[in-house]
Amino acid sequence: VGESGTLAEPAPEPAADATDGGLATAFDRDAITGTRHLVAAWAANAGLLGQRLEGFVLAVNEIITNAVRHGGGRGRLRLWAAAGVVWCEIRDHGPGPTAAAGGQRRPTGYELPPTSATGGRGLWLARHLCDTLSFDRRPDGTTVQLTIAVRPGTR
C-alpha cells in the first residue's frame, strides 16, 4: 500500500485511446451519481464481482465526493485494467486531504476518525475496500490512485 504523498509505484499507462477499453471522464458536483454508475458498469465489465465490485465503486465514490467538496468542485477520472488489476486515477484541483481548520492532522485513511469528526471516513473506507490507495499532492491539484485486483489474491 502506497504511503500518502507518493504514488505506490509507477502505474501502467492507461489506454491511450478509448478503443482499448479504458474510461476517461470529467465530473463535477452534479455528476457524482452519474460518474459512479459509469464506473460500476465499467468495472463489472472488467470482471469485478460482488462485494469487491461494490467496495471498489464505493471507494471511487468517496474520492470523487472529496474532489467535489474539497478539490475545486470538479475533476477527471480515468479507469483502466492491466494484468488483472483495475486502476482508477482521480485528479482534482484542490490541495488533497488537508489539515482541517482546527489543525487536525491531514487524514490519510490509515486511521478511523474519532466519533466527533464529521468527515475523513471516505479515505478510511477506500483504503479498506481497495488493494492500494495512494496520493500525489501538487500545488495545482491532487491525484488519487486506487487499485483492485479483479480476482482476490492475484496481487
Partner 1 sequence: VPSDRATQRPIGSARLSVPAIDPKARRTLDTTEAREVAMRVPRPDGTGRGGLSAPSSRPARLGDHVSWIYHSDRDLLGHTAQFTRAGLDAGNRVVVLTASLPTVAVTDWLHDAVPGFEAARGAGRVEVLDGPRQYLATGRFEPDRVTASFAEMISATAAAGYPGLWVCADMTWSADTAGGAGTVARYEARANRLYASGRVAGVCQYDGRRFGGADLDAVCAAHPITPGQATLRFHGSDQAPHLAVSGEVDASNQPVLAALLDQLPAGDVEIDATDLRFADGASAWSVVRLAATRPGDTVTVRCTPALARVLRLVAGAARPRLVIAAVAGG
* Residues at the site binding partner 1, with contacts judged by CB under 8 A: 29-30, 32-34, 36, 50-51, 54-55, 57-58, 61-62, 65, 68-69, 112, 115, 119, 121-122, 124-125, 128-129
- CB 121 to partner 1: min, Å: 5
Neighbours of 139 (CB within 10 A): 5
Q: Which is nearer to partner 1, 22 or 120 (CB)?
A: 120
Q: Which is nearer to partner 1, 63 or 79 (CB)?
A: 63
- CB 8 to partner 1: min, Å: 21
Which residues have a Cβ under 8 Å from the Cβ of 124 and sit 6 or more positions away? 107, 109, 110, 111, 112, 113
Q: What residues does 81 pair with on adjacent strands?
A: 86
Q: Which is nearer to partner 1, 77 or 80 (CB)?
A: 77
CB 87 within 8 A of CB 80: yes
- CB 125 to partner 1: min, Å: 5
Residue 18: C-alpha distances to residues 1, 36, 72, 80 (Å): 29, 19, 27, 10
Q: Which is nearer to partner 1, 19 or 115 (CB)?
A: 115
- CB 32 to partner 1: min, Å: 5
- CB 66 to partner 1: min, Å: 10
Q: Which is nearer to partner 1, 22 or 67 (CB)?
A: 67
User: Which residue, among 82, 30, 23, has the nearest Cα to 57 in the 3D structure?
Assistant: 23
CB 68 within 8 A of CB 77: no
